[in-house]
Chain A
Amino acid sequence: DQQVKQNSPSLSVQEGRISILNCDYTNSMFDYFLWYKKYPAEGPTFLISISSIKDKNEDGRFTVFLNKSAKHLSLHIVPSQPGDSAVYFCAASNVQGGSEKLVFGKGTKLTVNP
């Protein structure tokens, strides 16, 4: 049973436009969400996170939106740059429950075309 779902395996956008990556989750106990970026043959690097008490968190070109009622979050990258091309993983955890475990989605491969 996949608790964190990224239904789009790939996304292609033009440089300068907005990239929107989506993530859905099924476990209502998740209260903390993270986005990681991963290049081939490298470990993931942390991008941005959001607590379930918020609906938006912004850091430079990256903004994460959380819709708890829909169990949906999205990562917006604007403007997109070719260097943003990578696989983006959505992850969730149950922090209030004392868990340090992260549950990952399958990832979305973003390609930003010059």
Chain B
Amino acid sequence: GAVVSQHPSRVICKSGTSVKIECRSLDFQATTMFWYRQFPKQSLMLMATSNEGSKATYEQGVEKDKFLINHASLTLSTLTVTSAHPEDSSFYICSVGGKYEQYFGPGTRLTVT
């Protein structure tokens, strides 16, 4: 399957600052990448679908101005959490793939203090 990396693996930031999370597809050219968020003891919730060269598609209830997604190349998508708040603390995971299978990155633990 595809190899997906995320950077950083964990980050701590102060309220009001912005933090960028990178998702790289190392061996798979991904026109589409997915961003998920997982709360403790909760399922993975799809936040948005990142489309290479065009705007991301956000799920209902996800603020696009707060969670900025850029998919500038076939191997890189970034998620920027703007003006972070403690309630944004979570585990963020990206994936690449298609209809039949998705391959996930190792995730990024964000803690907002």
- Residues in A lying within 8 Å of B, measured CB to CB: 4, 9, 32, 34, 36, 41-46, 49, 89, 93, 95, 98-107
Contact = CB atoms under 8 A, between A and B. Distances in A.
Interface stretch (B65-73, B82-90, B98-106): B98-106
A89 B104 CA distance: 13
Chain A interface mostly: loop
Interface residues of B, number: 27
B41 A43 contact: no
A14 B94 CA distance: 34
B81 to A, nearest CB: 18
B1 interface: yes
A99 B99 contact: yes
Given A45-B104, A46-B1, A101-B49, A89 B44 contact: yes
A46 B4 CA distance: 13
29 contacts: A4-B43, A32-B100, A36-B104, A41-B106, A42-B107, A43-B4, A43-B93, A43-B95, A43-B105, A43-B106, A44-B93, A46-B101, A46-B103, A93-B99, A95-B99, A95-B100, A98-B99, A99-B99, A100-B34, A100-B102, A101-B34, A101-B46, A102-B44, A103-B46, A104-B43, A104-B44, A104-B45, A106-B42, A107-B43
B62 to A, nearest CB: 13
B7 interface: no
A45 B103 CA distance: 7
B111 interface: no
B65 to A, nearest CB: 22
Nearest to A42: B106
Contact of B101 (A34, A89, A99, A106): A34
Contacts of B80: none
Given A32-B99, A34-B101, A49-B100, A106 B41 contact: yes
A62 to B, nearest CB: 15
Nearest to A9: B41
Contact of B107 (A43, A101, A104, A106): A43
B104 A106 contact: no
